[in-house]
Copies of this chain bind each other. A is one copy, B any other.
Amino acid sequence: MFRVTISPRLRMTPYHESTVAAGATDITIYNKMVLPLSYGDLEAEYDRLINGVAIWDVSVQRQVQLSGPDAHEAAQYFTSRDITKMVEGQGKYVAMCDHAGNIMNDPVLMKLSGNRYWFSIADNDMILWCKGIAAEKGWDVEVTEPDVSPLAVQGPKAEDLIAELFGEHVRDIRLFRFIETDLDGIPLVLCRSGWSKQGGFELFLQDGSRGNELWDLVVAAGEKYDIGPGAPNHVERVESGLLSYGGDHTPGSNPFEVGMGGYVDTDTDVDYIGKAALQHVVANGGPERVFVGLNVDAALDEPWPLPARTPVTVDGDQVGTLCAIVHSHRLGRTIGLAQVNRDLVESNATVQVQTPTGLADATTQSLPFI
């Protein structure tokens, strides 16, 4: 277990003081910022997410903003999904690919207006990609990282809490839809979204100086729902089959190979980076690898955070890559996420993975588990 040194190269979030006061113990670094991962009681944090409501500092989900007359053209070019019909106030889960069709990020793209978009990104500097290409294209678009820091409110009681804070009208906000609003004058974008399948909202704070104030307002109103601190939850996200970009797949994977096939449009007239390569994958019978769940025949008495991907094997030969393995509280068994050869999944073969008690058999299944 290492101590982490925080230096000016890394950024703390607008909610940092609140997360420290709430007892954050474990963190990671994500987009060069501090992402709290636990407050010392993983079971309570899981329970809160599944049965109650939790507040998460997810400021690390940075925004790459495209603004200007060519913002739409640029947003489309960066996105392997047809966004022609997107409306203002709508978000879409998208893949951003390179020219060879390899996935580079899996953001939620949000359309704030016809000439302003946000990519709410996973862990890498997509701003460099967007900025470089936009400049070379000569587009009239500014590519910036705005002062926007999401705070997630997740769990089955999140909607009641958000309705209490913002009004009953928020119940009508559909998944990935958002409104620009404020809370006691704190400007924010309120979106029905979040990296869990338990429902909830993300408050995209638009004034970094007011993070702790926003946190306190949400916690105060949340007291009657027994709100407590939490973080993107590793067990729940495995159960729900949510992708952790950068962790869950081998480099050089196309979107089909990370379970994002449903979010790729290859039969479209719009132009985007990697389109020809992705069309080629489809025309040639589909991807070589697929992203699946594993039911593992081994008991995990302790949480077993996987520090690095490990091989999935059949008779000692590597047939895939294990990227997560947890004890599912709700399923009462050991489950994992893996990227494996497609033929293997189609043949329903038994595979092997390494566990603390040795090599264990596992069978594949489609995602999500729950």
Interface residues of A (CB under 8 A from B): 1-12, 24-30, 32, 34, 37-38, 98-99, 104, 123-126, 128-129, 131-133, 135-137, 244-248, 273, 305-309, 323-324
Q: In chain B, what residue has the closest Cβ to A25?
A: B3
Given contacts A98-B135, A133-B132, A308-B12, contact A27 B4 (CB under 8 A): yes
B28 x A5 contact (CB < 8 A): yes
Please give, as numbers and ranges, the residues of chain B lying within 8 Å of A132 by CB-CB distance: 98, 128-129, 132-133, 136
Q: Which of A7, A25, A137 is packed against the most chain B CB atoms within 10 Å?
A: A7
Question: Whole-angstrom distance between the alpha carbons of A136 and B132 in the complex?
Answer: 9
Min CB–CB distance A61 → chain B (angstroms) = 14
Q: In chain B, what residue has the closest Cβ to A99?
A: B135
Please give, as numbers and ranges, the residues of chain B lying within 8 Å of A99 by CB-CB distance: 131, 135
Q: In chain B, what residue has the closest Cβ to A125?
A: B125
B12 x A29 contact (CB < 8 A): no
Please give, as numbers and ranges, the residues of chain B lying within 8 Å of A307 by CB-CB distance: 6-8, 12
Given contacts A3-B3, A133-B133, contact A9 B305 (CB under 8 A): no
Q: In chain B, what residue has the closest Cβ to A145?
A: B251
Q: Which of A4, A128, A129, A131 is packed against the most chain B CB atoms within 10 Å?
A: A128
Q: In chain B, what residue has the closest Cβ to A137?
A: B136
Question: Whole-angstrom distance between the alpha carbons of A324 and B9 in the complex?
Answer: 11
Please give, as numbers and ranges, the residues of chain B lying within 8 Å of A128 by CB-CB distance: 104, 124-126, 128-129, 132
Question: Whole-angstrom distance between the alpha carbons of A225 and B43 in the complex?
Answer: 50
A123 x B8 contact (CB < 8 A): no
Given contacts A1-B3, A128-B128, contact A8 B136 (CB under 8 A): no
